[in-house]
């Protein structure tokens, strides 16, 4: 059955998505031009007040403009210009982040056509109705070539569906009534057959509607961490407002007690000028992180969308970054899901080559994944060429059936059978042969190791005998142990959930390298495990696709529902993976951690920036009054005017310089919290102190090139 493309957990390569082709590079000039009108519209105080830091900057820019009008000078107007640019650059960062989402939303809207639905009435007749008018509970009919008019569940029929408008994957998927693959999405196209769909959406709340709203940022609400950081930044800004306000009376008092001090930019007969006070305030409050905070959050959501994951809220992304426990299904997540041949174990008196030849012959017409793996294994390990059923003349193929639990081939006077050990043993006895106790011992040892044994029997020259056992193994995906080692270094505990017996579960868990496992798991067991972890103060993430997974998905802090799953699962989770790849949960955790690290790194850089600006501005302004401050005047700027102007220009330009980092995110490498903190302090803390010293000094040197300034 065709399914959506899955991604190997060992790689980060993503399937081609035509939706992503609309994206330009970071700070793409075309994107900047498109975002500039939005940045200007965000100057509206009714919009900007949600960002306390930049709202204060805008108020300061207005006051500075008024001061410049009253006392016009080149210095005043340059300060005013750069203050307004600071606000615009901050708005531009958010507008660019939103613009990247709007570019994807435009492609998603193409999937929202004016579709007409064939709604079934109570009498069983069909009526044409516009898709937006469909109500929850309506029953519609969709046939090959028609667009599914709304989100719902298939209640009758089976069909191949093209979901490329949503997932970007060209490979069709199968949707059928019943089971965990019954959910369909509005805007996708039926390629074959006929299905009857029960609509589960409300008007205007379809999957595409929600996705468009989220990627555009229209429905994005501030996360708890963002709210807390905004409160901190607002508090710091208020403190600096009072601190800067005290400079005016301090300057007047100091001037009165030092009448011999010459007038300067900052100290005239009336004290410190309003322009200088505003410029000083803007340079000292944490404008850098205040300008980039919204862009960081939007970009984090955008990175998930690029990986075909729809997060229903920013809270879910943040929670993913703080996850302590990962619950992972075994089949399809940790293992490939299809058992593969791993070994041929012959009985006494039979060579391994003889067993491999018989196993391959009996599997030539077996189209199951297990059968194909036996043919390939025999070829690779024993040099047996890949024969085809057509090469064997007068061969009679015995297909596998649930009744016999065997398959095989009859060629001349030779008959081969492969299947469940009990069935093959019964066949051998029915043909007059005997089954040695050694066969039972081999079967038990393979089962104990977590594998699946398949016995191979032969009837040749009237003698029936057992040849040996094929060891089928649920193969762990390549690189999973390394990924789990990374999770462990991140402080995340991994738990494998499986319906297998404890012995098989332990064997797979040991091979994959997970920390723990839950065998013979039921929905109630999953729920109990999640509640137990949460009771210990831990955050839990899990994936699911079935209706029976819905309670656990709703209980988990991060519940990732598969797009191929039921509507109940998608409603219960706070994320939906459009690729339906269970291993995506590991990437989601990494993206969440990258979001938190990016926010922390830029906050560190911003606060460290302010420390450096103190050394640039305060000594230059007050060294005439307090000669002792000359020790702090390490930058030796040209003049007080140059110091103020250089700091304001640097304050604006650093926002633009950090927009790509805010959008792309700080590179995340798995390590402990203490190491991450040390790296942040060394790179972004130290860098935040050094960068202003260099940047402000260079700008000061450039200003000196213009004598009139």
| Rounded distance between C-alpha atoms, residue 374 and residue 394, angstroms | 23
Report whether 164 belongs to an annotated binding site.
no
Pairing state between β 309-311 and 189-190: unpaired
Dihedral, CA of residue 46, residue 47, residue 50 and residue 52, to nearest 10? -80
| Rounded distance between C-alpha atoms, residue 16 and residue 168, angstroms | 7
| Rounded distance between C-alpha atoms, residue 399 and residue 291, angstroms | 67
Q: What is the number of H-type helices and E-type strands within the chain? A: 24, 21
| Rounded distance between C-alpha atoms, residue 297 and residue 292, angstroms | 9
Looking from the CA of 3 toward its CB, the CA atoms found within 13 Å total 16
Report whether 402 belongs to an annotated binding site.
yes
Report whether 405 belongs to an annotated binding site.
yes
Report whether 418 belongs to an annotated binding site.
yes
Longest dimension (CA), the chain: 124
Report whether 366 belongs to an annotated binding site.
yes
Q: Which residues neighbour 123 within 8 Å (Cβ) at sequence distance 6 or greater?
A: none
CB of 500 closer than 8 Å to CB of 519: yes
- What tokens does 606 get? 């911003």
Q: Which residues neighbour 497 within 8 Å (Cβ) at sequence distance 6 or greater?
A: 327, 328, 329, 330, 517, 518, 521, 526, 529, 542
CB of 561 closer than 8 Å to CB of 553: yes
| Rounded distance between C-alpha atoms, residue 677 and residue 668, angstroms | 12
| Rounded distance between C-alpha atoms, residue 335 and residue 328, angstroms | 11
Report whether 542 belongs to an annotated binding site.
no
Phi, psi of 459 (to 5 degrees): -120, 110
Catalytic residue among 162, 209, 329, 577: 329
Helix (H), strand (E), coil (C) string for 144-185: CCCECCCCEEEEEEEEEEECHHHHCCCCCEEEECCCCCCEEC
Looking from the CA of 487 toward its CB, the CA atoms found within 13 Å total 30
Report whether 545 belongs to an annotated binding site.
yes
Report whether 438 belongs to an annotated binding site.
no
Report whether 400 belongs to an annotated binding site.
yes
Question: What's the residue count for the chain?
Answer: 709
CB of 517 closer than 8 Å to CB of 497: yes
Q: Where are the alpha helices (DSSP H) in 558-703?
A: 567-572, 584-622, 640-664, 673-680, 686-703
Dihedral, CA of residue 345, residue 348, residue 350 and residue 353, to nearest 10? 30
CB of 561 closer than 8 Å to CB of 539: no
Q: Where are the alpha helices (DSSP H) in 21-159?
A: 29-41, 45-48, 52-70, 74-109
| Rounded distance between C-alpha atoms, residue 243 and residue 684, angstroms | 26
Sign, Cα dihedral of 626, 628, 629, 630 = positive
3-state secondary structure (DSSP) of residue 111: coil
Report whether 562 belongs to an annotated binding site.
no
Report whether 549 belongs to an annotated binding site.
yes
User: Is 263 a residue of the active site?
Assistant: no
3-state secondary structure (DSSP) of residue 548: helix
What's the Rg (C-alpha) of the chain? 34
Dihedral, CA of residue 106, residue 109, residue 110 and residue 115, to nearest 10? -170
Report whether 496 belongs to an annotated binding site.
no
CB of 676 closer than 8 Å to CB of 300: no
| Rounded distance between C-alpha atoms, residue 334 and residue 512, angstroms | 7
Binding residues for Mg(2+): 545, 549
Q: What is the set of active-site residues?
A: 329
Binding residues: 366, 370, 400-407, 418, 545, 549
Binding residues for ATP: 366, 370, 400-407, 418
């Amino acid at each position: 059955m065709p399914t959506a493309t899955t991604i190997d957990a060992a790689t980060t390569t993503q399937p081609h998505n035509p939706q992503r082709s609309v994206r330009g590079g970071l700070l793409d000039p075309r994107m900047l031009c498109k975002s500039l009108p939005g940045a200007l519209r965000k100057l509206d105080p009714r919009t900007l007040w949600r960002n306390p830091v930049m709202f204060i900057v805008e108020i300061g820019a207005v006051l500075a403009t008024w001061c410049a009008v009253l006392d016009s000078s080149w210095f005043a107007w340059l300060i005013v210009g750069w203050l307004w640019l600071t606000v615009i650059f901050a708005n531009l960062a958010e507008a660019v982040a939103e613009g990247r989402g709007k570019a994807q939303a435009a492609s998603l809207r193409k999937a929202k056509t004016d579709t007409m639905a064939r709604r079934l009435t109570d009498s069983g007749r069909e009526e044409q109705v516009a898709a937006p008018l469909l109500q929850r509970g309506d029953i519609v009919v969709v046939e090959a070539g028609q667009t599914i008019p709304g989100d719902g569940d298939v209640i009758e029929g089976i069909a191949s569906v093209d979901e490329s408008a949503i997932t970007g994957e060209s490979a069709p998927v199968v949707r059928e009534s019943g089971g965990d693959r019954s959910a369909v999405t509005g805007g996708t196209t039926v390629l074959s057959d006929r299905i009857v769909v029960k609509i589960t959406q409300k008007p205007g709340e379809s999957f595409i509607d929600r996705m468009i709203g989220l990627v555009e940022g229209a429905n994005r609400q501030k996360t708890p961490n963002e709210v807390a950081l905004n409160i901190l930044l607002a508090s710091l800004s208020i403190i600096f407002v009072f601190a800067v306000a005290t400079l005016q009376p301090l300057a007047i008092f100091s001037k009165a007690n030092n009448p011999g001090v010459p007038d300067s930019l900052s100290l005239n007969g009336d004290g410190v000028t309003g322009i200088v006070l505003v410029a000083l305030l803007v340079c000292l409050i944490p404008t850098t992180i205040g300008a980039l905070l919204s862009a960081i959050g939007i970009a984090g959501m955008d990175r998930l969308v690029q990986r075909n994951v729809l997060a229903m809220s920013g809270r879910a992304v943040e929670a993913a970054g703080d996850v302590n426990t990962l619950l992972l299904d075994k089949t399809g997540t940790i293992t490939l899901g299809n058992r593969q041949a791993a070994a041929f174990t012959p009985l006494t008196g039979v060579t391994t080559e003889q067993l491999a030849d018989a196993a391959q012959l009996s599997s030539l017409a077996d189209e199951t994944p297990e059968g194909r793996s036996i043919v390939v294994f025999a070829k690779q390990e024993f040099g047996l060429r890949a024969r085809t059923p057509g090469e064997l003349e007068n061969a009679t193929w015995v297909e596998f059936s649930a009744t016999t639990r065997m398959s095989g081939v009859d060629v001349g006077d030779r008959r081969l059978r492969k299947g469940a050990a009990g069935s093959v043993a019964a066949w051998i006895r029915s043909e007059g042969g005997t089954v040695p106790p050694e066969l039972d011992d081999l079967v038990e040892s393979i089962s104990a190791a977590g594998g699946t044994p398949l016995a191979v029997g032969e009837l040749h020259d009237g003698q029936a005998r057992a040849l040996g056992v094929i060891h089928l193994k649920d193969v762990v995906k390549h690189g999973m142990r390394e990924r789990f080692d990374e999770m462990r270094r991140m402080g995340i505990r991994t738990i494998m959930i499986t319906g297998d017996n404890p012995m098989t579960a332990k064997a797979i868990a040991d091979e994959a390298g997970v920390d723990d496992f839950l065998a013979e798991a039921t929905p109630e067991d999953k729920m109990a495990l999640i509640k137990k972890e949460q009771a210990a103060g831990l955050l839990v993430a899990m994936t699911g696709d079935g209706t029976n997974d819905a309670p656990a998905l709703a209980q988990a802090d991060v519940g990732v529902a598969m797009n191929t799953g039921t509507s109940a699962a998608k409603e219960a989770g706070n994320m939906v993976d459009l690729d339906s790849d269970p291993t995506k949960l590991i990437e989601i955790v990494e993206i969440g951690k990258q979001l938190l690290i990016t926010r922390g790194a830029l906050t560190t850089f911003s606060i460290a920036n302010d420390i450096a600006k103190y050394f640039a501005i305060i000594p230059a302004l007050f060294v005439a009054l307090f000669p002792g401050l000359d020790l702090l005047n390490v930058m030796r700027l040209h003049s007080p005017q140059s110091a103020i102007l250089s700091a304001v220009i640097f304050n604006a330009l650093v926002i633009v310089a950090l927009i790509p980092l805010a959008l792309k995110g700080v590179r995340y490498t798995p390590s402990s919290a203490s190491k991450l903190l040390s790296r942040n302090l060394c790179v972004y803390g130290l860098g935040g102190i050094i960068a202003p010293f260099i940047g402000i000094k260079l700008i000061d040197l450039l200003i000196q090139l213009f004598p009139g300034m």
